[in-house]
């Protein structure tokens, strides 16, 4: 899978920086692999008008990418607990110019785990009505980090060891992970182009372990990878990808065609990673049961979504009228693999009862109906 679109994303960011703060470009190390893929850049340019953010703030959080070390300027980045986060440099407190805490990167990866709330993310956490969620309802703390970091680290290593090709894509596209906790009625785990490169993972259930993190990392990183691949949507879609599914299928489905294709890809990536872990027998008995249950849960969903995408193809009188050649190859690859997964797992999952499941898979609920 070719990630050449990262170059197009970098060029777009460079043009935005040239317009916003041309002198800043002279300070930045153009050879730094992440300088123009820094997720905070996407947030800044998406919300700078709404929030009236200045170019000085932009310069402040880009200091970790400068060619030369300079005296740090931290005037506006402090947030909750008076902690400021500067990418690549670390965390700083308001009353002390010295480093408060280093950043945390998963060993032998490029993936950073954020430990504290970040000034820019207040706009990112939104409910289904696209309203900003009260920050008191979004928990991002060092204690939440400490509770989950071993499970998260183990899960990333499991993906790396058992699904190495897919991990290569994750490592290239997923720059950071935010662990947060909130009622899923507020929001689920997510990834958004407005903080492109960050996987936001909602750890609201207390019994989450490696299985959940393999699942959700594979899922949210899948969105980030696909956003990268689909940066130039005209190479993928022939039709308006923002068409609502329900307008075509006459079924209650508020998603766009683009979102539906994202869903199909993330079913594939999630099942792929869980399936490979099961093949290599890396889980204990409880984790094995949960992994198989999750695979069945997603296969039930993906079969419905495959049917809906086929309805879209029929509506437009053929897939060649929906997708360009790159898009067709991509869709057929996903479809073929999902059908293989379905065939392989159907004998096992066909007896499972999912009638008590909420939107997010809950193993406790599954266990009550499937002993």
Flag whether 21 is in a domain: no
Domains: count for the chain:
1
CA–CA distances in Å: residue 1 to residues 131, 169, 186, 230, 329: 35, 9, 34, 12, 11
pLDDT at residue number 97: 78
pLDDT band at 199 (very low <50, low <70, confident <90, very high): very high
pLDDT at residue number 4: 56
Residue 254 phi, psi dihedral angles, 5° rounding = -80, 0
Flag whether 71 is in a domain: no
pLDDT at residue number 220: 98
pLDDT band at 77 (very low <50, low <70, confident <90, very high): confident
CA–CA distances in Å: residue 99 to residues 92, 282, 288: 5, 39, 42
Does the structure show a pLDDT above 80 at 321? Answer: yes
Flag whether 249 is in a domain: yes
Flag whether 49 is in a domain: no
Flag whether 298 is in a domain: yes
Flag whether 261 is in a domain: yes
pLDDT in tens, 8-49: 999 999 999 999 999 999 999 999 989 999 999 999 999 998
pLDDT in tens, 336-351: 999 999 999 999 999 9
Flag whether 278 is in a domain: yes
pLDDT higher for 33 or 70? 33
Flag whether 314 is in a domain: yes
pLDDT in tens, 146-197: 999 999 999 999 999 999 999 999 999 999 999 999 999 999 999 999 999 9
pLDDT in tens, 216-269: 999 999 999 999 999 989 889 999 999 999 999 999 989 999 999 999 999 999
pLDDT at residue number 3: 54
Does the structure show a pLDDT above 70 at 2? Answer: no
pLDDT in tens, 256-314: 999 999 999 999 999 999 999 999 999 999 999 999 999 999 999 999 999 999 999 99
User: Structural domain of residue 263, as residue ranges?
Assistant: 232-349
pTM to 2 decimals?
0.95
């Amino acid at each position: 899978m070719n990630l050449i679109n990262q170059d197009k994303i970098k060029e777009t960011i460079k043009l935005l920086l040239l317009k916003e703060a041309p002198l800043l470009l002279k300070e930045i190390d153009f050879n730094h692999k992440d300088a123009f893929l820094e997720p905070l850049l996407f947030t800044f340019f998406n919300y700078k008008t709404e929030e009236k953010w200045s170019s000085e703030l932009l310069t402040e959080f880009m200091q970790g990418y400068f060619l030369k070390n300079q005296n740090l300027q931290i005037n506006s980045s402090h947030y909750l607990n008076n902690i400021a986060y500067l990418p690549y440099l670390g965390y700083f407190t308001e009353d002390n110019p010295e480093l408060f805490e280093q950043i945390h990167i998963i060993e032998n990866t490029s993936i950073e785990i954020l430990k504290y709330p970040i000034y820019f993310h207040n706009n990112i956490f939104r409910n289904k009505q696209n309203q900003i969620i009260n920050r008191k309802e979004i928990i991002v703390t060092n204690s939440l980090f400490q509770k989950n970091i071993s499970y998260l680290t183990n899960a990333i290593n499991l993906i790396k060891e058992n699904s190495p090709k897919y991990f290569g894509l994750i490592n290239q596209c997923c720059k950071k992970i935010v662990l947060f906790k909130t009622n899923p009625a507020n929001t689920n785990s997510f990834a958004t182009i407005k903080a492109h490169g960050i996987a936001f993972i909602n750890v609201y259930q207390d019994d989450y372990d490696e299985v959940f993190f393999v699942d959700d990392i594979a899922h949210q990183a899948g969105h980030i990878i696909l956003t990268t691949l689909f940066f130039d949507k005209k190479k993928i879609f022939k039709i308006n990808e923002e068409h609502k599914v329900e307008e075509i299928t006459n079924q209650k489905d508020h998603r766009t065609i683009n979102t539906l294709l994202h869903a199909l890809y993330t079913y594939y990536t999630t099942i792929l990673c869980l399936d490979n872990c099961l093949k290599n027998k890396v889980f204990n008995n409880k984790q094995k049961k949960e992994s198989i249950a999750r695979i069945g849960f997603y296969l039930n969903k993906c079969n419905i979504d495959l049917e809906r995408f086929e309805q879209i193809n029929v509506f437009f009188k053929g897939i060649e009228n929906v997708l360009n050649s790159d898009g067709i190859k991509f869709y057929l690859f996903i479809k073929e693999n999902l059908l293989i997964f379905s065939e392989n797992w159907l004998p096992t999952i066909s007896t499972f009862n999912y009638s008590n499941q909420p939107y997010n898979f809950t193993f406790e609920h599954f266990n009550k109906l499937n002993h």
